[in-house]
Amino acid sequence: MSLTEQIRKIIGFEQEAAPTPRGKILAVAARKGGVGKTTTTVNLAVAMARYHGLDVLMVDMDGQGHVAEALSAVVRDQGGASLSDVMLSSGREVRRVDDLMDIVVQTSEPRLWATPSDKGLAVTEGIMAGMIGREFLLRNVMRKAAARFDVIIFDCPPNVGNLTLNAMVASSHVLVPCDMSILSMAAVGDIIGVIDTVNEQLGHDLEVLGVLPVRVDRRNGKLTDQILKELSDNWGERLLSSRIPANSSLARAQVSGVSVFDFDSRSAGARAYRNLAAEVLGRMGFRGVDAPAGRKFQKS
């Protein structure tokens, strides 16, 4: 082994060894809290698993643990290894866990898996800051998981720190939820700027899957129309045609710890997330979006 290779091994600088699997890994990210990232992650993941027959993994990158809370009935923290353990294992000599696959937990939804919530992620983010190759830690530990699942979805924290950057570098696509406020609209520009920087500086080819309007409320007609027009003018085809309405079933489902499909499958929120799943899968390059539940998609 050459000296360079030895140094790379010691510091865990392995990014060339782990190319991003194409077209199946989605980061749900926004530079703002409360815009529907977790609601979107959970309901999109359930829709893909239940109505499209795909095996889906949700990865909670936010230390607040809201993914597990949103599906409280189905995600059990088994007290074992955490996402932090896996990410920080990169480059270590003795590895207790070295792939996302080692920590996934099956949910009560037959085709849906999740990583347990990890309250230590904030501390981990600080540790990462001192590591060389820190943006690649996650990408380096998901080979087995990427081979096992049809789709992997990262629910990102509401800022652009090392956790969000790790999710982006490990992803093929980013979905950006935007609620109907001026602040959220500005935050869309920020996050797309970060994606451009990741691509230029880190040699990645991350795609903006789309900007998703959420909490669209007709009672605020004028402001809503104005924001939708601005989003369309600014982002053109990147603006998805799906709209997530302001719908109390979505909030109540989250509090009850179930998906919106289990809470009220006929609600406007449930219909919207079913439509979104089909649109997202189409944009990610899956064929046969209308395949009946239970039948496998073909990845083109």
Ligand X SMILES: Nc1ncnc2c1ncn2[C@@H]1O[C@H](COP(=O)(O)OP(=O)(O)O)[C@@H](O)[C@H]1O
247 touches, from ligand X, Mg ion, none (C-beta below 5 to 8 Å by class): ligand X
Decide if residue 215 touches ligand X (CB under 6 A): yes
Number of C-beta neighbours around residue 32 at 10 A: 19
CA dihedral 107, 109, 110, 116 (to 10 degrees): -20
Task: Give the single-character DSSP code of 297.
Answer: P
* Contact range with Mg ion by CB under 5 A, out of 64-72, 123-131, 209-217, 228-236: 64-72
Pick from 32, 66, 111, 134 the residue near Mg ion by CB under 5 A: 66
Which among 21-29, 63-71, 209-217, 272-280 is the span making contact with Mg ion, rule CB under 5 A?
A: 63-71
28 CB neighbour count, 10 Å cutoff: 29
Residues touching Mg ion: how many (CB under 5 A)? 3
Q: Tokens 């710890």 correspond to what residue?
A: 257
- For residue 136, which of 42, 18, 287 has the smallest C-alpha distance? 18
Q: 285 CB contacts (<8 Å, ≥6 apart)?
A: 23, 299, 300
- Judged by beta carbon, residue 38 or residue 224, the one nearer ligand X is 38
Distance CA 257, CA 151 (A): 22
What does the alpha-carbon distance between residue 199 and residue 105 come to, in Å, rounded to a whole number? 32
How far is 158 from 179, CA to CA, in rounded Å? 14
Q: Does 31 bind ligand X (CB under 6 A)?
A: no
Q: How far is the CB of 177 from Mg ion (least distance, A)?
A: 10
250 binds ligand X (CB under 6 A): yes
Of 34 and 110, nearer to ligand X (C-beta) is 34
Of residues 245 and 288, the one with the C-beta less far from ligand X:
245
Residues at the contact surface with Mg ion, assessed by CB under 5 A: 37-38, 66
Q: Which residues bind ligand X (CB under 6 A)?
A: 33-39, 66, 158, 214-215, 244, 246-247, 250-251, 254
